[in-house]
Amino acid sequence: MINIALFGPPGAGKGTQSEALVKAYNLYYISTGDLLRNEIAHETRLGLEAKSIISSGGLVSDEVIVQIIEKTIKEHPEANGFLFDGFPRTYIQCYILEGLMIKLNTSLNCLVSLEIDEEEAVARLLKRGLTSGRSDDNEEVIRNRLREYHEKTLPVLQFYKDKGIYRTVKGDNPIKEVQKDIHTVIKDELLKHPINIVLFGYPGSGRGSQGKALAKHFELEFVATGPMLDAEIARGTPLGKRIQELYESGALVSDEIVVPLIEQKLEQSKNVRGYIYKGFPRTLVQSYILDGLLRKRSASITQVIDIELPMLELIKRLDARSHTDACMPYDTTTVKIVQRLQEHETKTVPVIEKYAQVHGVAKVDGSGTFEEVFARLKSVLEQSKFLRAAQV
């Protein structure tokens, strides 16, 4: 998800700039002003409460705002992200937004503040007042709205400065130029946070070779627990010997072994654009560990992919591999192969099901040649907003 808040005094051009942003990032647009005007038009309870406040240029209560925002977000579970216009407008609303984002398992990526000379803003609003039909676009109310902005809305900036996601753009340039500048800061902000792609698939589905190729193509770090463990075995350390024993018995390697290795890998590759995880998380416990590792780095899961193949095809592939030099210590006998497939089914499939509910999982057909499967996976990732951000 990408979530952006557009900030600025009345007349800064938030509404105008929103249109292009919504299109570029495929966002759902939430303007609290529009939502309130809609409530007023339908003469709802909330509308009646807000009507006189809006006409005088004051701010509607946080209680009303939280209700209309929550309702709108709930009505759009399919959204790729939200663009907030006119919200948060008070320091309290910053906390409301934090809570709403946590509930969606996401966060605000950037608050873009449009800076504009105040007299220019007044002139724009007076001009808009000639055609907008808005009761609050006349000079007296406009001055009041600006007063409210200074008193109650400007403190919002400090909240986001502290969070490190506050960015400014000069709002009195021509529309196209402002649009370009907004894209630049958003792109910048998005690329600051690493992308995290989780690649699933049964053993034999090709997730290892595909993951490696995807990482190379998209310039991401490949985080594969298997090779990390193999490296430990190759070093002949006591830890490596324990891993070897577990491999041979077909059991999963314990979290106490895997997690520090992953943490070390993330620490060593801090400046990369993102990661592709393969072979992790493998259990529900590990999925919570990954959540924790990402949260520690102010990141979240960008995309989950599951490579699908019929069971018989998987067995055929694993059996074929066991007769080649690529045979892994855990693939040497049929019993071990079946055990690994079973481990995936009982322990990893529930993780995929959990992700399907929280993030959505892209199912990719794993049949055909390596190139065919790679092309399918590549196309899924090319649609990812974070990767697209680089091209907008």
> What are the residues binding ligand AMP (CB under 6 A)?
10, 32-33, 36, 53-54, 57-60, 65, 86-87, 89, 93, 136, 145
Closest-CB residue for ligand AMP? 33
* Closer by beta carbon to ligand AMP, 10 or else 201: 10
Cβ 59 to ligand AMP shortest distance, Å: 4
* Closer by beta carbon to ligand AMP, 144 or else 332: 144
Cβ 152 to ligand AMP shortest distance, Å: 8
* Closer by beta carbon to ligand AMP, 6 or else 253: 6
d(CA 64, CA 46): 7
* Closer by beta carbon to ligand AMP, 1 or else 59: 59
Token code pair at residue 268? 């060593």
Cβ 121 to ligand AMP shortest distance, Å: 11
Cβ 35 to ligand AMP shortest distance, Å: 8
The type of residue at 323 is: H
* Closer by beta carbon to ligand AMP, 10 or else 13: 10
* Closer by beta carbon to ligand AMP, 6 or else 224: 6
Cβ 285 to ligand AMP shortest distance, Å: 40
**Residues 204/182, Cβ–Cβ less than 8 Å:** no
Cβ 112 to ligand AMP shortest distance, Å: 15
Cis peptide before 281 (omega within 30 of 0): yes
